Structure 1
């Protein structure tokens, strides 16, 4: 019996809600892997004698593999079956995690982090695509809202989980914990997620995935490493040029081949393109903030990894609650106002955070993070729903992958740009207040604290105080930038998203789905 025969066009698949729980759990595990490493970096530096460049690559290897393979993975999942892509990605993720926990050098850990990124690239787009396939139009927005809440929870639970494990166990525990988590999700996926058939239409588009992966890899790498080696150096400019050439070649090929992996005509639908851009803006602000905020909590405020991670728990709770209720907010206000309101709420929270000092108490910081989380929760689910509603259901796997790429590129760009701004501001602030600072202290806050350890107590205290104040002011500048980006996103949502257009797109797709399912029966 065909899977579609089990699906009522309005109600959806009878096993959709248990499957949704599994898909949300898979997404939590995947997004947790993206942030769990942050609190473990100091321990990794000691255990593996890792340099700053090594630590950057340990973090970036996952991001690079993940972002560059999202679209090819979505296309392969659509062709060979979504559950196969989900299960295969989970297996690769578990193997990579177990091997990473046993790594004996920074080089080995970098390689296994890349393997973990490959597995995650197959998991994330498959989860959203399965939701679109299983849920009918009446419940799809609610399901995507719950899925988005899971993503927000996973992003912030990473630092909390890492801090909790490092309080009692060695650094390898932050990777080894994935193995039982992934195993449980894998068993549940095989039992509860329907084996949706692929759509192997025509020849396999081999050049498409290769060009796309290579172009995205070059683009992500130049964004990630731009602050380190300089945006206008020969290598950065050459890599940026290669990314443009590869992605243009990918677009040219996809528009001319008879069997494209990605239908680029999706981008002619304003709701789809606008939703992706707004998701990129949201994750730019979020990841730009988290990059400096975790350093502020641990180095400036002196919190333990566990307490620093728990400072983000209000954010996670707020994201979950707001995203879970966002479909009802959209029903009252419409997608355009909800998304714009969410970005404006994020901007207001970021603005408040930009007034933080070296002595700001823990509770106000947690409350402000809750405001930022509530704003994000009101953006991600409605934007995801609006984007998916703009394309036919059979395009869901690649549309989901494109949406994930928008999130990832936004986050990577946020870290790179905000990191550059904060680094420059920190150097200027420290040298302005302490011109005789030791060599290297102006490079970053960690280096300043290390330099202070070799000084007499009075000089050490002066350097630490000056460095902490300089970093806090620099963080405030970076947070203001994130607030400005979020506010511009709110204005763009009001201009780009039209509630009537989004509603018409959803109705067109519902009509198409009902017609297609009726014909298949």
Structure 2
């Protein structure tokens, strides 16, 4: 029988730290996979002949499915058991990874990524949903920080491991490595995570799920295809209109439902809404940056896959340090100040990075990457923790599902919109006037394709033009990201509520208890 300890009148489950370990293992798998594919994309583009648009789909198939299924996944966990659904999600993720390793073309890779997104949709919201039921407010910031840091820890491990695999094996190995990691996560959940559920949660609405998936899918498709067709093309405008209609139908249906799956009433809570939007903006910038950066390091600076992974460490290091240091800073100054400061730091890093020129070495890149990582860490952990803290416990599943859905939508739009901005700017600047039509099309598809054509033709001028065009496009992406982060920082400083910080014994209040240092015991 499990003994529940009581501190200051609050009942605490002693298994909560072991349970947190299981959640950390699960989130580590998702974080690992996020960046391992980004490093592999240039290699896959060369081996599979994938254009920039197809690379965007290889990245976005995962994110779109992830975002579309997050809400029903959270409800399934509430209703049938969060541990059970976490294990199921990791198993689906494992199967998708195995399929990706065996894929032999762009379409099978996209389908495998969609399967992986289905599994991730079950894992992500449920990992967050169990935290309010396991931890009291004085410990929850540390718990959210640990889960977020686990996902972040996978980010630097992904590029380094993926780079090493790509240097020694075929590109499918970046999928295959997920199989033992997912198996470890499943084992940890089976033996360490207690079962929690909320049988009174709403049922999964199949029609609302379909409207969500279709609406988001059409929106992302329109953004990705717009550079090649033109933003004013009737097909693109029609796709945007259809997406708007589907999303409007979803909102109307959910507002009329007695027990809605998409609980829009949660957005009426100012703290939840504004903190969710802040976390979403951070995800928008992070996803776009992680898409453009590996191609710059590999194609423009000429590093191999492993060296690319190592050179992404400054951003990951800044993120981890800031995420770890955020809780005590929030306790002293409040979440509003920390979130706003993090966004300002992020804006400064992006604007600094937008000044990158084709002649700059890696040192300048490492500088602004480190600053960007610190901004990410300072902004995202307090925003997510404060948003979750604004939710009633009995709506943890649906609320965290909504939070993670909006965040992932921000990530998907970040990849699509910033990737499309990059593709348009690159194609406009690239000089292909001396190339045959077929070679010009390949070069315009991606900077990797341009370097392949340049190597085949011995055309150094084409390689130089491709590098300059790509750096120009990356600069525009970073400029837009910086402006968006700065505007959000100002809005956060003006509008975010600032709940009273949780005091700890160090603050001189012996009645409040902070998370124990022996968290693993």
Scaled by the length of structure 1, the TM-score of the pair is 0.88
Structure 2 unmatched runs, 5+: 503-521
Cα distance change, pair 248–5 in 1 and its aligned pair in 2 (3 A): farther
Secondary structure at the counterpart of residue 364 of structure 1: helix
Cα distance change, pair 13–427 in 1 and its aligned pair in 2 (3 A): same
For 1:437 and 1:239, the matched residues in 2 are separated by 33
Cα distance change, pair 192–335 in 1 and its aligned pair in 2 (3 A): same
Cα distance change, pair 228–63 in 1 and its aligned pair in 2 (3 A): farther
Equivalence map 1:8-407=2 (5 Å): 10=10, 12-45=12-45, 48=48, 54-201=54-201, 205-407=205-407
Shift of 1:344: 0.7
Cα distance change, pair 243–483 in 1 and its aligned pair in 2 (3 A): same
Q: Which deviates the most, 135-144 or 460-469?
A: 460-469
For 2:475 and 2:274, the matched residues in 1 are separated by 29
For 2:399 and 2:6, the matched residues in 1 are separated by 21
CA contact (8 A) 1:319 1:377 kept: yes
Shift of 1:42: 4.1
Shift of 1:205: 4.0
**Residue of 444, 454, 464 corresponding to 1:452:** 454
Match of 2:493 in 1: 494
Cα distance change, pair 41–259 in 1 and its aligned pair in 2 (3 A): same
Cα distance change, pair 364–134 in 1 and its aligned pair in 2 (3 A): same
Q: Deviations over 1:200-244 (max 9, x none)?
A: 457664443333333333334334444444433333333333332
Q: Deviations over 1:30-55 (max 9, x none)?
A: 13223322222344345556566554
Secondary structure at the counterpart of residue 295 of structure 2: helix
CA contact (8 A) 1:144 1:385 kept: yes
Q: Which deviates the most, 461-470 or 89-98?
A: 461-470
CA contact (8 A) 1:208 1:260 kept: no
Match of 1:477 in 2: 476
Q: Which deviates the most, 88-97 or 15-24?
A: 15-24
CA contact (8 A) 2:278 2:383 kept: yes
For 1:37 and 1:353, the matched residues in 2 are separated by 23
CA contact (8 A) 1:62 1:117 kept: yes
Q: Deviations over 1:166-219 (max 9, x none)?
A: 111121211111111111111011111111133245766444333333333333
For 1:202 and 1:336, the matched residues in 2 are separated by 32
Q: Which deviates the most, 274-283 or 56-65?
A: 56-65
For 1:52 and 1:297, the matched residues in 2 are separated by 16
Cα distance change, pair 157–499 in 1 and its aligned pair in 2 (3 A): same
Cα distance change, pair 428–107 in 1 and its aligned pair in 2 (3 A): closer
Q: Deviations over 1:104-162 (max 9, x none)?
A: 44333322221111001100001101122211111011111222222223344332222
For 1:67 and 1:49, the matched residues in 2 are separated by 28
Cα distance change, pair 502–242 in 1 and its aligned pair in 2 (3 A): farther
Secondary structure at the counterpart of residue 12 of structure 2: coil
Q: Deviations over 1:304-339 (max 9, x none)?
A: 111111111122122112111211111111111100
Cα distance change, pair 346–452 in 1 and its aligned pair in 2 (3 A): same
For 2:119 and 2:203, the matched residues in 1 are separated by 25
For 2:75 and 2:94, the matched residues in 1 are separated by 22
Cα distance change, pair 220–56 in 1 and its aligned pair in 2 (3 A): closer
Cα distance change, pair 332–207 in 1 and its aligned pair in 2 (3 A): same
For 1:193 and 1:149, the matched residues in 2 are separated by 19
Cα distance change, pair 226–400 in 1 and its aligned pair in 2 (3 A): farther
Scaled by the length of structure 2, the TM-score of the pair is 0.88
Shift of 1:400: 1.4
Shift of 1:25: 2.0
Match of 2:461 in 1: 462
Shift of 1:471: 2.1
For 2:222 and 2:197, the matched residues in 1 are separated by 37
Match of 2:509 in 1: none
Secondary structure at the counterpart of residue 262 of structure 1: coil
For 1:191 and 1:141, the matched residues in 2 are separated by 24
Q: Deviations over 1:245-296 (max 9, x none)?
A: 3322222222222222232100001111111111121122222222222111
For 1:93 and 1:425, the matched residues in 2 are separated by 35
Query: How many pairs are equivalent?
Result: 497
Secondary structure at the counterpart of residue 330 of structure 2: helix
CA contact (8 A) 2:280 2:406 kept: yes
Shift of 1:77: 1.5
For 2:228 and 2:160, the matched residues in 1 are separated by 28
